[in-house]
Amino acid sequence: MGALVRGAFLVNAVYAESAREYGITSQQGQLLCVLMAQPRGMSELGAMLGLAKSSLTGLVDRTERNGLVQREPDPQDMRAVRVALTAEGRGLVDEFYAETCRRVERLSSGLSPAERDALGGLLGRVVLDNEVPAVFLEPGEGAAREH
Residue type, 114: A
> What pLDDT sits at residue 124?
87
Helix axis angle for 2-21 and 87-107, nearest 10°, is 140
pLDDT tens profile 133-143 = 777 666 555 44
- Residue 63 has a pLDDT of 97
Q: What is the pLDDT of residue 137?
A: 65
Helices (H), the chain: 2-21, 26-35, 42-49, 53-65, 87-107, 113-129
* Residue 40: C-alpha distances to residues 14, 67, 112, 139, 145 (Å): 26, 17, 38, 21, 13
Give me the tens of pLDDT residue by residue for the chain, a chain 147 residues long.
898 899 999 999 999 999 999 999 999 999 999 999 899 999 999 999 989 999 999 999 999 999 999 999 988 888 889 999 999 999 999 999 999 999 999 999 999 999 999 998 999 899 889 887 777 666 555 443 433
pLDDT one-digit tens code per residue, 107-120: 999 999 999 999 98
What is d(CA 67, CA 98) in angstroms, rounded to the nearest whole number? 20
CA distance 117 to 123: 10
The pLDDT value given to residue 139: 56
- DSSP string covering 12-26: HHHHHHHHHHTT--H
Closest Cα partner for 72 from 36, 39, 37?
39
Q: What is the pLDDT of residues 2-11, one digit of tens each?
A: 988 999 999 9
Q: How many residues does the chain have?
A: 147
Domains along the sequence of the chain with CATH: 17-138 (1.10.10.10)
